[in-house]
Amino acid sequence: MELYHWHWTGRSKDGRRLSGEIVAHQRSEIQQQLRDQGIAVKGLRQGRRWRSRRGRIQPRDIMHFSRQLAELLQASIPLPQALGVLATSLNNPAMRSLVLNLRQQVSDGASLSRALHHFPRHFDALYCSMVEAGEQSGRLDQLLKRLAEHLERRESLAGRVRKALWYPACVVLVGLLITAILLTRVVPQFEQMFASFGAELPPLTRMTLSLSALAREWWLTASLLAVSCGFLLRAGLYRSPTLRLATERMMRRLPAIGMVLERAAVARFCRTLSATHAADVPLVDGLTTASGATDSHIYRQAINAIREDIASGQQLYFAMHNSRQFPTLAIQLVRIGEESGTLNTMLTRLAEYYEEDVERRADTLTTLLEPLIIVVLGVLVGGLILSMYLPILELGNVM
């Protein structure tokens, strides 16, 4: 739901005319906030959509916000004042606007968890649930600190996975770009020189010249087609759950990469469920949060099925086994945790184990792919260069 600027006019209890501007989702929220302040609303007009003035809010900004707010609350600073102090210390204008909006809502009587619900793009269900649990238990500062640690681990894990996926793709893309430049810019200059030889060219050189002619003729069409396919694929992945699921299943079948994606999804599930369990969130609600927190559509379906099994009375380990998506080690440790009453401890250990496993596998994958990619690109670019110099070498031998 989008946020909008709302311009209001009204009268106070003593009859004074008042006016102002509030950022909120809908008319009823404004009316409730003003009623709580003893203001009778006379006019309310929706303005432009609320936008961050400049900059973008990154996950690291949310992590720093959580940690700094926890420290301010530990110093016994009231929440509205803590948000105000935090806003003045922020360099990111977008994040400053968000925190000021939170302070306004909290000052108007809303709880922090309710205010955070207005920004689902930046504060997911897990974040809001843990903040709400902290408000109810009086341990908001502790849970905010735990959230900051959770976000730090999650961002580190996501960075490892992105590196494992994007590094090889970027290197290959650069190699293809270099090859295209050689075929369209360098090879034609050699072709003019070869025409003056008046001799038959080697097969490898003739093949390279043919590829060069093809590249020069079709490079614009090929580039537009590649860009169009990229945009269509991105739009399809955004709009079609079926396409996202099929793409993920294809990625899961890739050697090494599939295992990294699987272990990362398991680690995130265990970490999220551990965090909600530590905040005394009921298991069914924790599974709902874990389902929304995962990036994997395969695991989202599995977690939803587990939640239904738990709601019908099954134990967590048995529901995980029935989903057929979790490693045996995870199932066995969850079973031990349930039977011994140490489920949160076991989930934390599983999260740490699989996070370390993802880091180790991602580093190994990158280490193995680097020399392979270098060899392939070396053969490709070296072959093109060799094909251009073969006629010159043969001419030198004849002379």
pLDDT for res 252 = 87
Report residue 47: phi and psi, to 5°: -105, -150
pTM score over 0.85:
no
For the residues 283-291, what does the mean pLDDT come to? 90
23 vs 39, higher pLDDT:
39
Alpha helices in 6-139 (DSSP H): 27-36, 59-74, 79-89, 93-107, 112-116, 125-137
Q: Which tens digit of pLDDT belongs to each residue from 188-235?
A: 888 777 777 666 778 888 888 888 888 888 888 888 888 888 888 888
**Which of 114, 116, 22 has the alpha carbon at shortest distance from 66?**
116
pLDDT for res 399 = 46
Tell me the residue type at 220.
L
Domain ranges of the chain: 4-49, 155-399
pLDDT for res 210 = 87
Are 361 and 161 a contacting pair, CB within 8 Å?
no
pLDDT tier for residue 51 given thresholds of 50, 70 and 90: low
CA–CA separation, 269 and 333 (whole Å): 14
CA–CA separation, 328 and 336 (whole Å): 12
Tell me the residue type at 47.
G
Least confident interval from 24-38, 158-172, 245-259, 320-334:
24-38
Q: Which tens digit of pLDDT belongs to each residue from 110-156?
A: 899 999 988 888 898 889 888 988 898 888 999 999 899 888 888 88
pLDDT for res 144 = 92
313 three-state secondary structure: coil
373 vs 340, higher pLDDT:
340
Q: Which residues have C-beta within 8 Å of that of residue 242, sequence separation ≥ 6?
A: none
How high does pLDDT run on average in the chain? 85
pLDDT for res 36 = 67
Q: Which tens digit of pLDDT belongs to each residue from 221-233?
A: 888 888 888 888 8
Helix axes 79-89, 93-107, angle to 10 degrees: 170
Which residue in this structure is represented by tokens 């238990």? Answer: 137
CA–CA separation, 221 and 76 (whole Å): 64
Helix axes 125-137, 257-278, angle to 10 degrees: 20
Tell me: pLDDT of 377 over 60. yes
pLDDT for res 308 = 94
Report residue 16: phi and psi, to 5°: -75, 140
Identify the CATH assignment for 4-49 out of 3.10.20, 3.30.70, 3.40.50, 3.40.1350: 3.10.20
pLDDT for res 113 = 92
30 vs 302, higher pLDDT:
302
Are 334 and 320 a contacting pair, CB within 8 Å?
yes
H or E element at residue 54: none
Domain 155-399 falls in which CATH fold? Receptor-associated Protein (1.20.81)
Beta-carbon count within 10 A of 185 CB: 12
Which residue in this structure is represented by tokens 């008042």? Answer: 18
Report residue 314: phi and psi, to 5°: -80, 160
Are 351 and 150 a contacting pair, CB within 8 Å?
no
pLDDT for res 33 = 67
